[in-house]
């Protein structure tokens, strides 16, 4: 018997599948202020989320809200220019719906990107961090509810959420492009508020290097479906209590803008090298 989530997924899929001409090889999620990367895709066409049946639509500035499909080298890429977040009021299964659709369209690899606050003392605003693992214990799992057996199994292993081979490729590409790519653990909060200084201290004690309001739940849903996942955080600011001024979303977008050149080179060469 199909669950309500499964029915919603297939309705969304059926409403766009004819519009997706090539089978995507790689799915890409572009984080806050990083959406301009989609301009790199050749022969690109767009599907606004608002045209997809039952799809969640992003309400955040800096998040455009559409799929952009096009070529990078010999690969077909489906990019999400804008994602939806749990803090917008969507349920976790709605939040990960766009990820699941990209897998159902054929993408076996998922590249997740985001803007994040730096927790590690080794990071500065503008640092690029390859995600090696994550802490998702502060948000509900997107896999709660009846298991969708057609997507994956009930108790999925999470030993290597971020694919080891993809991490090797990413490091090698960064080296070749002379990009100082740091590594670390990403922690997801629900948002929309930034953290308190004491929460940041706690997250550091728990082993987190960066904090943000997305990504971990998407990586979990992708892992459940057997996708190979890679992740890159753009550290747009140091987390609360590490700088002597309050945080704001404008600053997050401005820093993301400043590093967008390096970010673009890294992600473009990475996708070509996979």
Instruction: Report, as residue numbers or ranges, the catalytic residues.
Output: 32, 63, 85, 87-88, 115, 213-214, 237, 249
Q: How many CA atoms lie within 13 A of 266 on its CB side?
A: 30
DSSP collapsed to 3 states, the chain: CCCHHHHHHHHHHHHHHHHCCCCCCEEEEECCCCHHHHHHCEEEEEEEHHHCCCCCCCCCCCCCCEEEEEEECCEEEEEEECCCCHHHCCCHHHHCHHHHHHHHCCCCEEEEEEEEEECCCCCCCCCEEEEEEEECCCCCCCCCCCCCCCCCCCCCCCCCCECHHHHHHHHHHHHHCCCCEEEEEEEECCCCCCCCHHHHHHHHHHCCCEEECCCHHHHHHHHHCCCEEEEEEEEEEECCCCCCCCCCHHHHHHHHHHCHHHHHHHHHHHHHHC
User: Which parts of 244-273 interact with ligand HPA (CB under 6 A)?
Assistant: 247, 252
CB closer to ligand HPA out of 69 and 247: 247
Nearer to ligand HPA, 110 or 116 (CB): 116
Distance (Å, rounded) from C-alpha 139 to C-alpha 266?
29
CB of 83 to ligand HPA, least distance (A): 13
Residue nearest ligand HPA (C-beta atom): 117
Question: For ligand HPA, which stretch binds (CB under 6 A), given 10-18, 96-104, 112-120, 142-150?
Answer: 112-120
Q: Which is nearer to ligand HPA, 101 or 115 (CB)?
A: 115
Least Å from the CB of residue 192 to ligand HPA: 9
Q: How far is the CB of 250 from ligand HPA (least distance, A)?
A: 11
Residues 167-206: x where in contact with ligand HPA by CB under 6 A, - otherwise, as a string? ---------------------------xx-----------
Q: Which of residues 24-83 bind ligand HPA (CB under 6 A)?
A: none
d(CA 38, CA 19): 18
CA distances, 253 to each of 114, 130, 198, 208 (Å): 11, 19, 25, 22
Which range in 15-23, 84-92, 139-147, 211-219 contacts ligand HPA by CB under 6 A?
211-219
* Contact pick of 29, 116, 185, 267 for ligand HPA (by CB under 6 A): 116
Segment lying near ligand HPA (by CB under 6 A), choices 45-53, 115-123, 162-170, 176-184: 115-123
**Looking at 211, 216, 229, 271, which residue binds ligand HPA (CB under 6 A)?**
211
Choosing from 151, 213, 216, 266, the residue that interacts with ligand HPA (CB under 6 A) is: 213
Closer residue to ligand HPA, CB minimum distance, 94 or 237: 237
**Interaction of residue 115 with ligand HPA, rule CB under 6 A:** yes
Task: Please give the Cα distance from 80 to 63 (Å, whole number).
Answer: 9
Contact residues toward ligand HPA (CB under 6 A) are: 115-117, 194-195, 211-213, 236-237, 239, 247, 252
């Amino acid at each position: 018997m199909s669950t309500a989530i499964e029915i919603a997924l297939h309705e969304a899929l059926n409403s766009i599948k004819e519009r997706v001409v090539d089978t995507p090889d790689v799915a890409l999620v572009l984080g806050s202020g990083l959406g301009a990367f989609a301009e790199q895709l050749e022969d690109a066409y767009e599907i606004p989320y608002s045209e997809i049946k039952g799809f969640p639509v992003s309400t955040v500035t800096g998040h455009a809200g559409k799929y952009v499909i096009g070529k990078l080298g010999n690969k077909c890429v489906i990019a999400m220019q804008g994602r939806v977040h749990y803090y917008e009021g969507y349920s976790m299964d709605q939040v990960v719906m766009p990820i699941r659709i990209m897998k159902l369209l054929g993408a076996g690899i998922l590249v997740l990107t985001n803007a994040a606050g730096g927790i590690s003392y080794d990071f500065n605003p503008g640092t690029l961090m390859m995600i090696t693992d994550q802490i998702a214990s502060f948000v509900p799992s997107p896999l709660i509810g009846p298991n969708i057996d057609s997507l994956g199994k009930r108790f999925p292993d999470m030993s290597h959420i971020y694919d080891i081979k993809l991490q090797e490729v990413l490091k090698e590409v960064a080296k070749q492009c002379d990009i100082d790519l740091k590594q670390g653990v990403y922690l997801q909060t629900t948002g929309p508020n930034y953290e308190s200084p004491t929460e940041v201290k706690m997250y550091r004690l728990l082993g987190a290097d960066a904090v943000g309001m997305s990504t971990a739940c998407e990586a979990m849903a992708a892992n459940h479906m057997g996708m190979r996942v890679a992740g890159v955080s753009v550290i747009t600011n140091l987390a609360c209590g590490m700088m002597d001024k309050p945080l704001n979303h404008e600053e997050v977008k401005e820093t993301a803008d400043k590093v967008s050149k390096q970010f673009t080179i890294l992600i473009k060469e990475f996708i070509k090298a996979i």
